[in-house]
Amino acid sequence: MSKNTAYLFLRISMGINFFGHGLIRLTKLQDFAVGMTKSFEKSWIPQLFVHTFSMALPFLEFSIGLLLIIGFKTRIATMAGASLIILLLFGSSTVENWEAMGIQMIYAGLFYILMSRIDDNYFSIDKK
């Protein structure tokens, strides 16, 4: 298998993951936002900020995922995805959700691979 094919599979896998998260959460946006806000009640982050972020999160996940799946604006999508993971890590640390942080660190590593191997992004709309 070529590096380009391997990159394609990883890019699409991350895209489906983010796209799926966003799509499902969009179908129950209010419930998702209320649940996330409740889970941050013990955080020092203001509830209004948590609620606003939780309303935006599914749209961000959906958009980043779609861009990764189709391979359009891949560099921007990977940087946006990595930035989103950093925000999620920060939030998880404020409520001491170490389990979530472990999973989020895996995402961070996968985004590192996607960003550092961007020259392997041949099978995409924005191929190099």
Q: Which of 43, 35, 50, 47 is nearest to 94 (CA)?
A: 43
The reported pTM is 0.95
Please list the alpha-helical segments (H only) found in 28-120. 29-39, 47-70, 74-94, 98-116
Q: Which of 48, 70, 47, 67 is nearest to 59 (CA)?
A: 67
Confidence of residue 128 (pLDDT cuts 50, 70, 90): low
Confidence of residue 127 (pLDDT cuts 50, 70, 90): confident
Round to whole Å and give the CA distance between 53 and 56: 5
Round to whole Å and give the CA distance between 112 and 82: 8
* Mean pLDDT confidence for 21-32: 98
